[in-house]
Amino acid sequence: DAGVTQSPTHLIKTRGQQVTLRCSPKSGHDTVSWYQQALGQGPQFIFQYYEEEERQRGNFPDRFSGHQFPNYSSELNVNALLLGDSALYLCASSYGPGELFFGEGSRLTVL
Amino acid sequence: DAKTTQPNSMESNEEEPVHLPCNHSTISGTDYIHWYRQLPSQGPEYVIHGLTSNVNNRMASLAIAEDRKSSTLILHRATLRDAAVYYCIRTPSNTGNQFYFGTGTSLTVIP
C-alpha cells in the first residue's frame, strides 16, 4: 500500500515564475492538506481540500491556490514566485479529520 | 498560532526513558493534544493524541496534567531511530485536523 506520494521531489524556479506541485493521497483517504516548511521551522498550514473544495485556509496569500481531483489527488499552485517561497512543501492526507499521513515533500528553490 | 511551548532541544541516552514536555496553558476544554515527530529528511509522522486522560500506544505514552495546561510525551526506551523533532499541537475539536505546528523539540539520542 503506497503512502502519500509527491512530485517532483526537487525543483528550481526563478522569481516571478509559477510552479505546480502534485500529491497522491494514501489509499482510502479523501482529504488532502498542504503545508509549507521553511528551513529550521515547523510546517505551516496552507489549506485543506475535501470533496474537491477548499475547506480551510491558513495565512497565505492568493498566490497560493490548489485543486483536488475526483480521485482525491491534489495540486498546489504558486504564482509570481518570491525568494521567500523557497521551502519544503508537504502534502498530508487523511480520512476525514483523522490522523495525518505526510509525504516526503517537494523541495522548491526560488532563485 | 501554535499556542504551545516546548523546549528547543533535549538529549537522552540510548535505551533510557525520555520525557518531552509541552505547555499549553491557554487550552480550552475541547482542545485535543496531538504529537507528531519529524525524522531527518522525512515528513512528520503521527505519534499519539489525547483529550483528558493518559494515552498509550506502541510508540509512546501521553501524560496530560489534571488541569490540562501541560502534557508530557514519554518514550519508554529511546533508540537512535527516535532522534527527531517532536511537535506538540493543540487543536480545537471543531477544526478537525488543520494543524498549526510550532518549532518543536529537537531530540538527540546519544549512543
**Residues lower than pLDDT 50 in chain A:** none
Q: How far apart are the CA of A27 and the nearest CA of chain B, in angstroms?
A: 17
Contact criterion met (CB < 8 Å) for A97 and B46? no
Residue from B46, B15, B34, B1 nearest B109 by CA: B15
Contact criterion met (CB < 8 Å) for A100 and B46? yes
Q: Is the peptide bond before A8 cis (omega within 30 degrees of 0)?
A: yes
Selected residue of B46, B97, B105 to mutate for chain A interface (largest A Cβ count, 10 A): B97
Quick: pLDDT tens for B57-99.
999 999 999 999 999 999 999 999 999 999 999 887 766 778 8
Query: CB count, 10 Å around CB of B10?
Result: 16
Nearest by CB: A94 against B41, B49, B97: B97
**Per-residue pLDDT, B89:** 92
